[in-house]
Homo-oligomer: A and B are copies of this chain.
């Protein structure tokens, strides 16, 4: 866009607004298919709902919540489907994700697609005879990767209401004392205990679970959460809770890196306009931050309500021996020995924020993290960056199966 256009000033009264597009048309699923879907669900012994970002886009939060609560069904959000129903809802089985996927006999997908994030809907991550019910606005997605038992083509909110009507005509509630609920709750408890144990470790440097535990404690209920990175995004997704729909933005289906700060700026412009106190919490891996870290200049220039958290393991992915790393960090010279997938040990990202007038914190302990977060959230006048040093070798808790390595629980 040429600079003279960018700079142009016009008389507001002279602006002509062209007619907006029509609101998106709404379509419903065929009545008989809705009926069949309800029948399949009634017969399920291990039902599961998966709530995708399509449900968020369709603004189906109210209808889906009713469905979950009336039928008392376990549900699992996808990364950007988080918050359509709050993560702390008693029917949310996010903490038992792998088990829920693996043993369900009927799964209803609401605007969620069977791509790599959902392991393509295939064994061994799923039962070979699991019945999928697909609810989607896009006909071409129906039957993608699996042959579904029932397909409901239409607006997700409208179709959810059709299902609710079915269950109103002939009421049904999945028994809350079933073996399936028992199994999911046991697994949830077990996983939360394991996370809690990791979170409570006092050894330094901190691990991911400790860091996310403390962030979760102070996360404002109405904040936007933006997240980007590998472990940082994956583990953060399991620990940090969303309470509102369309308040989580991350690297998305294709795992695109470099989008985090742009998302944070966009969300902050909305937040600033909407409510004076609303904040954007942008949780970045140090490698992710490097893609577009200079955007802090924009954040500072416009005084945007962003708290940036860089979860900093020095870019260490794998393969660097802990002692070697320590030697590196002490020598202060990375030029000869740093492997190509590492970043500079102890980079002071917080000073980048300070260079532009924002607040910067370098934290190494839980106490420092708590305190800096408190200050950052309290100061609504300035953006902040908290550079959180964690164990370079820090990994997630032990996984059940090898093929879970890249999964988020």
Which of A's residues lie within 8 Å of B, judged by CB?
3, 6-7, 19, 21-22, 24-31, 33, 139, 142-143, 147-148, 151-155, 158, 289-294, 297, 300-304, 317-319, 332-335, 338-341, 343-344, 347-352, 354-357
Contact = CB atoms under 8 A, between A and B. Distances in A.
A355 B303 CA distance: 21
Chain A, interface SS category: loop
B319 A153 contact: no
Nearest to A332: B357
A22 B142 contact: yes
A300 B30 contact: no
Given A297-B347, A300-B334, 16 more contacts: A3-B341, A6-B340, A7-B341, A24-B139, A25-B142, A25-B152, A27-B29, A27-B154, A28-B31, A28-B154, A30-B158, A290-B294, A292-B294, A294-B352, A303-B334, A352-B352
Contacts of A301: 334-335, 338, 343-344
A183 to B, nearest CB: 32
In this complex, which of A143, A294, A304, A334 has the most chain B Cβ atoms within 10 angstroms of its Cβ?
A294
Contact of A351 (B29, B151, B347, B351): B351
In this complex, which of A24, A27, A152 has the most chain B Cβ atoms within 10 angstroms of its Cβ?
A27
Copies held by the complex: 4
Contact of A7 (B152, B291, B319): B319
B26 A335 contact: no
Nearest to A348: B355
A321 to B, nearest CB: 13
A341 B1 CA distance: 11
Contacts of A19: 147
A335 B383 CA distance: 12
In this complex, which of A19, A318, A348 has the most chain B Cβ atoms within 10 angstroms of its Cβ?
A348
A153 B6 contact: no
